[in-house]
Amino acid sequence: MKRLCFLALLFVLLAFPSGVRADVAPPYYPPGSNPQPGVETTQVRMMAETVTIEVQKDITPDSLGWAQVTADFTMRNLGTAEERMAARFPLGADNGWTGYSELGDLLIKVNGKQVQYQRANYPDVRYQMDEVPWAEFDIAFPVGKDVSIRVTYDLQGSGYYPFTAFYYILETGAGWKDTIGSADIILRLPYEANPQNVIIGTTIGWAETNPGGVFQGNEVRWHFDDFEPDWDQNMEFALVAPSAWQAVLTMRDNVAKHPNDGEVWGMLGKAYKEIYFLKGIIREDAGGLELYQRSVEAYEKCLSLKPDDAQWHAGFADLLARRSAWDWSTSTENVRALEEIHMALELAPNDRVVREVAEEMTYWRDGWMVKSGDDFDFPWLTQTPTPRPTWTPTVPPVDEPTPTTPAAPPPAATEVAQAVPTQTEAPEATPTSAPERTSPLCGSVAFIPLVAVIWFARKRK
């Protein structure tokens, strides 16, 4: 019945998405962009460009972060006459919420000298519909000579914490003559860049990092040669928000300094968990799986040091249950999640955080745990298991005599229904750990299909 209710709610949300737009379509801040020539046909080619998106070390709580962008362009007039024009660069963008926002601190230099720009209105670079402000600047291109253009500005992160995204539009460079000779796109972080904090291979709902990036220390680099950029080559960078990743780094330092403190291990496991889940679903990229494994290990270390802490048992159960709910092949997590929440309820049956996690878990799978009045029953832990071995022993046929009777194979590790001994009731303990959670998570799960739908629609648009 609960699953039917959940599916009904999901149907309503899909059928009437407008009422939840604020939950699935974050405001879109202006992207960076290549400069664009005027409306006239030009013989000027963009020979090379190097764009560096340098994410700042922003530790403001819940901040999406910001980046300083430096874009260098080498232009060459391949024609037979000097060209003078008003080149342009987008300043603002439709944020998707009937509003407009602009880049910060735009500065333009030509051949090393700052030039002034004028504001003018042209169609939005993303939707090509409403007009938004652009910066226009006068520039001359002598025949056969290289002209350098440098554009710098501040770029605001877009999205929902603890994830963020930055964008860079390459397709505006298609307005110059022929192809772009070469392009180097550099994403630079204030700490080591790795697949855990740069999300590659999974969309976060409003952005998906372009494939092909090479990790080098604090940077991820992309290189292109002789290409004509289209909308599908525009750059997106999906990241863990800098303040969220900095919290992980701080927790790592804490466990290095206090390796026998279960509390700091629990906080590290929780920090990993919060950037493993994407509004209820799991990160299926390689970095996400690494985060999951590290979270499991941190919780295990925490509970080896604090075995009677009910809230950390509940927090671990939450991690295991939410993963198993989205990856139906992980049956070992099913049973382990039940064992952890069962232990938490045994230790502190009236703890608010523990009961909140237990309530949510009753919705993840049908019949694995059931609320009965004020208590919780665990059918999957108490029913008689039906062994399903994952291996087939080599033995003679049953109708032939055998010298010895082979031992029965043990139940598989992935068996869903396993019996456990009846536990004696333990005295209620007063948890000392920080609350794992303060609000149910199941409500966010129903919004996930909408994220993908709106993201795809906006991308195609």
Going along the chain from its start, the domains and CATH numbers come out as 31-241 (2.60.40.3680), 258-386+416-452 (1.25.40.10)
List alpha helices for 230-309, DSSP H: 242-257, 262-274, 286-305
Q: Please give the residue that has the higher pLDDT: either 429 or 342.
A: 342
Question: What mean pLDDT comes out for the span 385-412?
Answer: 37
* pTM, two decimal places: 0.76
Query: What does the pLDDT read at residue 236?
Result: 95
Query: What does the pLDDT read at residue 328?
Result: 63
pLDDT above 70: percentage of residues in the chain:
74
CA 51/CA 367 separation, integer angstroms: 54
**Confidence class for position 4, pLDDT limits 50, 70, 90:** very low
pLDDT reading at 432 higher than 60 = no
Burial string for 137-148 (b: 16+ CB within 10 Å, else e) reads bebebeeeeebe
Which has the closest alpha carbon to 51: 227, 219, 239? 219
Q: Please give the residue that has the higher pLDDT: either 255 or 12.
A: 255
End-to-end CA distance of the chain: 39
Which has the closest alpha carbon to 306: 430, 453, 185, 173? 430
Query: What does the pLDDT read at residue 55?
Result: 98
Query: What does the pLDDT read at residue 275?
Result: 94
Question: What mean pLDDT comes out for the span 263-281?
Answer: 91
Indicate the pairing of strand 100-102 with strand 83-90. unpaired
Question: What mean pLDDT comes out for the span 232-261?
Answer: 96
pLDDT reading at 316 higher than 80 = yes
Query: What does the pLDDT read at residue 427?
Result: 39
**Confidence class for position 281, pLDDT limits 50, 70, 90:** confident
pLDDT, tens digit, 9 for 90 and up, residues 363-378: 888 888 888 888 998 8
pLDDT reading at 23 higher than 80 = no
**Confidence class for position 329, pLDDT limits 50, 70, 90:** low
Q: Please give the residue that has the higher pLDDT: either 135 or 405.
A: 135
* Residue 6, phi-psi category: left (phi > 0), alpha (psi -120 to 50), beta (remainder): alpha
pLDDT reading at 77 higher than 90 = yes
Which has the closest alpha carbon to 254: 241, 272, 268, 240? 268
pLDDT reading at 10 higher than 50 = no
**Confidence class for position 415, pLDDT limits 50, 70, 90:** very low
Q: Please give the residue that has the higher pLDDT: either 299 or 369.
A: 299
Containing 45, the helix (H) or strand (E) segment is strand 44-55
